[in-house]
Each structure stands twice: as C-alpha cells, then as structure tokens.
Structure 1
Amino acid sequence: MKRDMDLVREILKSINEHTHGFAPRNLEINGYTKEQIGYHCLLLHEAGLLEATESTTLSSSSPSAIPIRLTWHGHEFIDNAANEKVWGEAKGAIAKLGDVSFSVWASVLSELVKQNLGINS
C-alpha cells in the first residue's frame, strides 16, 4: 500500500479536532477503508506523530495500528498542514516532483506557513 499524504493529514486533523486528548474510538475517514486508515496510523506511529497500539494479527491483510493520541510532533505537523490554502500550495509544489519524503513535506509546509505570515527565512 502506498503512503497517502491526504489520508495522513485527515487522520491527524480528526484526532486533533476530537474533543478529548485521545483519538476517537472508531476513527473513520470518508473515502478510505479501515485497512488504509489502520496502515497509515501505523506509519504515523513509526514516524513519531501518533502514539498507537499495533493491532496486526496473523489474519490481517495489512499491518495496522489503533491510534491513541497525537504526539508533540503530530501537533506540530497538523498545525502547519491544517490550513487548506497552505496544504494546497504544498501539494502543488510537491506534485512537480512526485513522491517525496515526509521530512520534505514538513519542511515545505513550514516554509509556506512562514511565507504566509510574512516571515523571511
């Protein structure tokens, strides 16, 4: 399964917007399967953006995790990625290259936020 940065963003937004510090019990994202969500939660856990519990079993069709909460780094990323304008600008810039690493996504988002604030780096 290929990493989907739109799904990454939606998972982090959903948890960030939840009333409590914990992730919703049954995290659902429109347009995505439980398998896709579970796999991306595992990736986010591995990247240090989520605390999660791995839930993969022998009968699982894909590796999976159940999200618990955002980490500091998860909050940092979604704070930069939540704005639709900034997200669209980042996607447009990155689309010129195709797939890039997560660190490039984070860097592009951070730079775009600074530009939108009028901060020169």
Structure 2
Amino acid sequence: MKLDKDLVREILLAVEASNEDPLGWTVLNLEGRDAKEVSYHVMLLHEAGLIVGQDLSTCDGLEWLPKRLTYKGHEFLDTVRDGEVWRRTKAGAEKAGVAGLGVLLELGKAYGKEVLKEKLGIELP
C-alpha cells in the first residue's frame, strides 16, 4: 500500500478535531476512504511518532485506531494546515520524488516560512 499524503493530513485533522478522551480511541469516519487504508495510515503515523495509536488487529484483519496527536504530530499539522503551504509541500515532494513523513515535515516548514514571508514580509531563520 502506498503512502497517501492527503490521507495523512486528513487523519491528523480528524484526530485534532475529535472531542474523544485522548486516553480512549478516536473512531475515524473519513468519507470515501477505505477502513483498511485508514488503519494502515494510522499505523504509519504511530510508527512515525505523529500520533499515539493502538493496534486492535485480529485474525480478521488490520485495525489501528488513533488516540491522540503527539507534540510532533501537532507540529506537523500546524506546519501543513494552511492550504497553500500543503499544496506547495505536496508539489515539492512529488517534484523531488520523495514521500517520507520526515521529508514532508521539513518541506512544510520551508514552504511555511516562504508563505509567511510573502504574506507578512517577515523572514524567519
């Protein structure tokens, strides 16, 4: 299964918006998304340290549910929350031929600084 960058962002936004107890699970109902694909991406986000997830898989199949965002997850989401920054981040990753979450975070930071400079005239280090 391939890493779906848009699904990564959707999951992070959904977990952040959830009012569930962060010690429990957040059930994700993402329109048009396959449950197995969502579970796979929750597992990847957990492995990357962006969320705390839990493996509830059985012999019936893969099932991962998110509990909460980690600090690193909040940082990543804050970096790519802006639609323009996200568009540039994805385009940059595709142009470079990379898709790793770590690279997306670094690209998001770089494009975020670029957008801030364009909008506010401020250059960040």
Q: Aligning the two structures, in what range does the TM-score lie when normalised by the shorter sequence?
A: 0.7 to 0.9
Give unpaired runs (5+ residues) of structure 2: 118-122
TM alignment of 1:23-38, pairs within 5 A: 25-38=26-39
SS in 1 for 2:67: strand
1:64 aligns with 2:63: yes
RMSD, aligned α-carbons:
1.8
Structure 1 position 24, deviation (Å): 6.9
TM alignment of 1:1-121, pairs within 5 A: 1-20=1-20, 22=22, 25-60=26-61, 63-118=62-117, 119-121=123-125
1:19-67 CA distance string (max 9 Å, x none) = 356387421112211111111111111111111110121221xx43111
SS in 2 for 1:3: coil
Structure 1 position 71, deviation (Å): 0.6
Alignment length (residue pairs): 119
- Conserved in 2, the CA contact under 8 Å of 1:15 and 1:24? no
Give unpaired runs (5+ residues) of structure 1: none
Structure 1 position 97, deviation (Å): 2.5
- Cα distance 1:88–1:21, how it changes in 2: closer, same or farther (>3 A)? farther
Q: TM-score, normalised by structure 2?
A: 0.85
Q: Which amino acid aligns with 2:8?
A: V
Percent identity reads 33
